[in-house]
A and B are shown apart, each in its own frame.
Chain A
Amino acid sequence: MSNSHADGAPPKRTIDVVNASLKRRYARERRFRLVGLTAVILGLTFVGLLFADIIAKGHTAFVQTYIQLPVTFEAETLDPAGTRDPETLARANYQAIIRDALRSEFPDVTDRRGTRALGSMISVGAPSHLRDMVLANPDLVGTTREVWLLADDDIDMLMKGHINRDLPESERRVKDQTVGWIEQLEAQGRIEKRFNTIFFTTGTSREPELAGIAGALMGSFYTLVLTLLISFPIGVGAALYLEEFAPKNRWTDLIEVNINNLAAVPSIVFGLLGLAVFIAIFGVPRSTPLVAALVLSLMTLPTIIIASRAALKSVPPSIREAALGVGASPLQTQMHHVLPLAMPGMLTGTIIGMAQALGETAPLLMIGMIAFIVDIPSGFTSPTTVLPVQIFLWADSPERAFVERTSAAIMVLLAFLILMNLGAVLLRRRFERRW
């Protein structure tokens, strides 16, 4: 180096300057890495806490308390005429035979209050369970069987420890008398927790022990299928047209800006739009997968269009030139060469859009999905609710037993979301092109 210093210091070699600054540069690098690592750890911690909390609260919902009782299917009560007519059997008083079974199990309870307390140990859904048993097998009438009957949610909570037996009687929902009976049943091995099939096979209910996610799950399924059928073809078609065929002018610029804007519109606005347009103007039935799918399609379209355009952009232009060069028409070029290469990217975007739609709540509240619907939907136009809305509804319910059901439903929803995102990642890995 030839630069002379005014203060007369000896000229420095470049390497000395570099070495002097090296320590500082490396320190900065270490700090940056540390900050990044901290951010990652912090993020993972919160996700971990979230999952731990949900699983801790929700895992008990997957088992349910049952009480075993020797039930006598009295011919006199159920079928006095002896015809075994299904209609008579269906209308018979099954509540009565449960009461009788309880009475014979606890013969020392005689007063009315005690009898009522006894009866409240068994779920209100138990009689219909017995009815289904008899209807499936009319020969049961006149026999005595050991039957596992669904316990009431308070008993279930007590068994799972959510109601503390050590609290003074006045502060808990289950009275000492009932606790005594439970302990007696426990000693006999007549009360136990079994896998909660009801949770996965029924719709919602006012009674926590009878409430399930099947209705919401099927509602989500129908909605999602329809959303996919509507938004994928439209989204891919729009992306293909805008990216490959449309002239680049002020209008297409305007459209592009607005598609990006649409992606940022709060989802509740789409709900209001659905209410005003699809329900009020076109008369689409409310609370149905059809109207939900229409609204969610509007919401996912920008995501799909943006992802599809990015996928189309990443297809090298040389492929288009090659196809055009041998005389393929523009549409053939797109269909035979560009689209297949862009498809993994498009599908990834679509799955992410679908996952978004699966977890969406706000717009669906606007179009009537918040209604209390017990039936499992049978098609695209039957009233239903969807998983996230079901979670919202349960979270609002006062019963202690709905807390664990809320968490369990969240676990199911998260499982589906994770599965879908995993699918997107695998799809990308599987079909990624190597040129």
Chain B
Amino acid sequence: MSTTVDEMARRTGAMSSAELAGGRESRATVGDVTCANPRMVCRDVDVFYGSTQAIKGVSLDIGKNEVVSMIGPSGCGKSTFLRCLNRMNDTIDGCRVTGSIKLDGQDIYDKGLDPVPLRAQVGMVFQKPNPFPKSIYENVAYGPRIHGLTNSKAELDEVIEGSLQKAGLWNEVKDRLDKPGTGLSGGQQQRLCIARTIAVSPEVILMDEPCSALDPIATAIIEELIDELRANYSIAIVTHSMQQAARVSQRTAYFHLGDLIEVGETNQVFTNPKHRLTEDYITGRFG
């Protein structure tokens, strides 16, 4: 894997404590980390890259049919935390996760648990659109095919059409399903990746800055899509855009240097932040 421990450690430590405005204050999470109808429950999660601690005791719930956004300055650990939720961090050598992360009551870091079916349940959309260099059809068909979700070609076609429709891409690509996915525009590629993710019918979708490589129009389409997807899935989204977090999410979590500083209803976090660091960040004093 290209991401090494050192690199991740450097990224998470990008912001030294000297840059922080003011002295040390409590890093205990402010606000209610739980939610009424949780799908994923994370408690006291620590993540280490080698000897560097990237995440410090983070607890957070992700509820059914809600969008949780994670914001914070670069290197604050929000992506690292997101990647813990489907064990994508397993691919990084020297990465260690402690604490408990449960999906529907099942600890996903349990020794006996296989990360492969977990990733079918917790799908992921990445920062940079990364369609396979294959046809649009094959891109979406790959997941259902390897998991054996469909029994016939007709059924598979149906799943593909359904996924592309949910991702809002069907009308644009229905006549060229055999064309390479890499030939689409950036926004279309990202929607293709979303279609690929929902084709395996996951329960949770993780999105790691899905719009950072897209123009405002493509971003608007994806945001609309996220809102529609909320009806069927739980979504955790990492974003650098506070406006985006405000637009798409119901709850917002603010990360700072590996700590989860504040969690709350999105409205409350943006209009009435309780922690000074949160306030500094959303008012643009740093970050």
Q: Taking beta carbons and an 8 Å cutoff, which residues of A are in contact with B?
A: 247-248, 316-329, 332, 336-337, 341, 433-435
- Asked whether, in the complex, the Cβ of B132 is within 8 Å of the Cβ of A337, the reply is yes
Pick the contact of B88 from A319, A321, A329, A341 — CB < 8 Å?
Answer: A321
Contact A322/B133 with A317-B1, A332-B146 known, Cβ cut-off 8 Å: no
A317, A328, A433: the one within 8 Å of B116 (CB) = A328
Question: Contacts A326-B199, A341-B133 given; 11 further ones with Cβ under 8 A?
Answer: A317-B2, A318-B130, A320-B1, A322-B193, A322-B196, A323-B132, A324-B88, A326-B120, A326-B143, A327-B116, A433-B133
CB <8 Å contact, A328 and B88: no
Q: Are A248 and B119 in contact (CB under 8 A)?
A: no
Q: Is B247 in contact with chain A by the CB < 8 A criterion?
A: no
Residues of A near B93 (CB, < 8 A) are 247-248
**Are the C-beta atoms of A320 and B91 separated by less than 8 Å?**
yes
Separation of A326 and B3 alpha carbons in the complex (Å) = 19
Quick check: A322 and B132 within 8 Å, CB to CB?
A: yes
User: Does B119 contact A325, Cβ atoms closer than 8 Å?
Assistant: yes
Neighbouring B residues of A433 by C-beta, 8 Å: 133
With A247-B93, A248-B93, A321-B88: A326-B126 Cβ-Cβ less than 8 Å = no
With A317-B2, A320-B1, A321-B126: A327-B200 Cβ-Cβ less than 8 Å? yes
Give residues in B with beta carbon < 8 Å to A.
1-3, 86, 88, 91, 93, 116-120, 123-126, 128, 130-133, 142-143, 146-147, 182, 193, 196-197, 199-200
Give chain A residues whose Cβ lies under 8 Å from the Cβ of B118. 327
Q: Are B133 and A435 in contact (CB under 8 A)?
A: yes
Contact status of A322 and B120, CB under 8 A, knowing A327-B143, A435-B182: no
Q: What are 12 A-B interface contacts by the 8 Å CB criterion?
A: A248-B93, A318-B126, A320-B1, A321-B91, A321-B124, A322-B126, A325-B86, A325-B119, A328-B142, A328-B146, A336-B146, A433-B133
Q: Could you say which residues of chain B place their CB within 8 Å of the CB of A434?
A: 182
C-alpha spacing A321/B129, complex, angstroms: 11
Residues of chain A within 8 A (CB-CB) of B125 are 325
In the complex, which residues of chain A have a beta carbon less than 8 angstroms from the beta carbon of B2? Answer: 317
Indicate whether A327 sits within 8 Å of B126 (C-beta atoms), given known contacts A317-B2, A337-B132: no
Q: Are A317 and B3 in contact (CB under 8 A)?
A: yes
A326 to B120, CA, bound (A): 6
Cβ A325 vs Cβ B88 within 8 A:
yes
A324 to B118, CA, bound (A): 11
CA distance A359 to B61 in the complex (A): 65
Residues of A near B124 (CB, < 8 A) are 321, 325
In the bound complex, residues from chain A placing their C-beta under 8 Å from that of B88 are: 321, 324-325
Contact B131–A326 (Cβ < 8 Å): no
User: What are the residues of chain A within 8 A of B132 when measuring CB–CB?
Assistant: 319, 322-323, 337
Q: Are B123 and A325 in contact (CB under 8 A)?
A: yes
Chain A residues contacting B147 (CB-CB under 8 Å) are 327
Going nearest first, the 8 A-B pairs with the smallest beta carbon separation are A327-B120, A318-B130, A326-B143, A325-B124, A317-B2, A327-B119, A322-B130, A329-B116
Residues of B within 8 A of A327 (CB): 116-120, 143, 146-147, 200
How many whole Å from A20's CB to the nearest CB in chain B?
43
A324 to B2, CA, bound (A): 14
Question: A323 — which chain B residues lie within 8 A by C-beta?
Answer: 132, 142
**For A248, what are the chain B residues with a Cβ–Cβ distance below 8 Å?**
93
Most buried by B among A317, A325, A329, A332: A325
**Separation of A247 and B1 alpha carbons in the complex (Å):** 11
Selected from B3, B117, B126, B133, the residue in CB contact (under 8 A) with A325 is B126
Complex contact A326–B1 (CB within 8 A): no
Task: Give A433 to B131 CA distance when docked, in angstroms.
Answer: 13
- CB-based contact A322/B131 at 8 Å: yes
A407 and B143 alpha carbons, distance in the complex (Å): 58
